[in-house]
Structure 1
Amino acid sequence: MTLTPPRQTGSPTSARTNAETLPSRSPGVRCFQSAVEFPAALEAIPPARRELHTLLCKSGLAGIADIVALAAEELMANAVAHGCHGLAPDTTVDMAITCDGRQVTLKVEDPSSDLPCVLPGTSDEEGGRGMLLVDAFTDRWGVEKPSTGGAGKAVWMELACSPAEGAEAS
């Protein structure tokens, strides 16, 4: 099932989306899995974030939609700015999200093998706090080989569907 039709190809914000509804294990939360491929361009991130936020809200996860969307935006921005820096204009980034009724897992894949790191934020720097936010707002995150098995990496994050579940897991 596709939640939103793919945008026309050729624009910097075009993306291919594939979404599927899964059986729910939690009342009020609709389980799902979805994947999107978008151009490795910073202007492609806001539409992907909005689409993700909408999916979460429609799935009964409005209570964590802002946090997931913010952390996902940071992973997408890192993938574009660092993982795809200097690569061909047709380079793409893949994002996949799954909700099993108890936990949301989101993964962003890019072609670089350079690992992300959490840097201490300083008051005189504008950037560099993305992974600090991911670390603070998610239950856990990490890096693994991409699902394609090729070069690059997949940075993933997990967050409980409700704050109470995340506190119990800690």
Structure 2
Amino acid sequence: MFEMTFPADPLCAQQVRRVIRTHLRYWRRSSLSDAVLLATTEAFANAVTHGSRSPRDLITVAMENSNGQLRVSVSDEAPGRLPIEPSGADSLAESGRGLALIEAFTDVWGVEPADEGLGKTIWFAFNTTAEAVEPVPGETEACSSRPAIGENRPAPLPSYGEGRQWA
């Protein structure tokens, strides 16, 4: 499992995608990249747009790969109501389709209020029991059994912003 906190800034979406892609590659789940990246980007955008008051607010992205499931959660800290179920968004509308996309590309999803009542978490999961673990390109069989770094974590992430490590 990994968890990272990002400023509630739309410009951080690129780094969120980079971190997710890195973990998917490390966990040999790259075949899920398109769906996971799309759902995570939508959840992050919703948290920035609807779950934050300013770029100083924080959004936490967590991902876990265990028990035949890859689960992603995106949490904000802002008060407010929970998102509503996706409905038939107007095809010409500029917004309103994020949760419908998450529903379409994931096996299961949901929304939970924070324990303290401040903020919420959008989570979604992909069934990985039938999926074969992918070989890492350029890696030989002898290298594929290398020990994990930490607890299923890739190399340290680059620092973000003003020299502060967001991990």
User: TM-score, length-normalised on structure 1?
Assistant: 0.69
Say whether residues 1:77 and 2:77 are aligned partners.
no
| Alignment coverage as a number of residue pairs | 130
1:159 aligns with 2:126: yes
1:46-85 counterparts in 2 under 5 A?
46-84=14-52
Asked if the contact 1:109/1:152 (under 8 Å) is kept, the reply is: yes
- C-alpha change, 1:89 and 1:67, in structure 2 (3 Å) is closer
Q: Which moved more, 1:123-132 or 1:69-78?
A: 123-132
Q: What is the CA–CA distance in structure 2 between the aligned matches of 1:113 and 1:162, rounded to whole Å?
A: 36
What amino acid is the match of 2:68? R
Query: Unpaired runs of 5+ in structure 2?
Result: 133-167
- In percent, how many aligned pairs have the same letter? 33
TM-score (norm 2): 0.71
CA deviations over 1:24-69 (Å, ceiling 9, x no partner): xxxxxxxxx0101000011111111121012102211011111111
TM-aligned CA distance change 1:163 to 1:137, over 3 Å: farther
The residue that corresponds to 2:146 in the other structure is none
Over the residues paired in the alignment, what is the CA RMSD in angstroms?
A: 2.0
The 3-state SS of whatever aligns with 1:98 is strand
Letter in 2 for 1:91: D
Q: Is the 8 A contact 2:8 2:54 kept in 1?
A: no
| Structure 1 unaligned residues grouped into runs of 5+ | 1-32, 166-170
Question: 1:105 and 1:120, CA in 2 relative to 1: closer, same or farther beyond 3 A?
Answer: same
2:109 aligned with 1:141: yes
The corresponding residue for 1:104 is 70
Aligned equivalent of 1:40: 8
Q: Tell me: CA distance 1:162–1:112, structure 2 relative to 1, closer, same or farther (3 Å).
A: farther
Q: Which has the larger radius of gyration?
A: 2
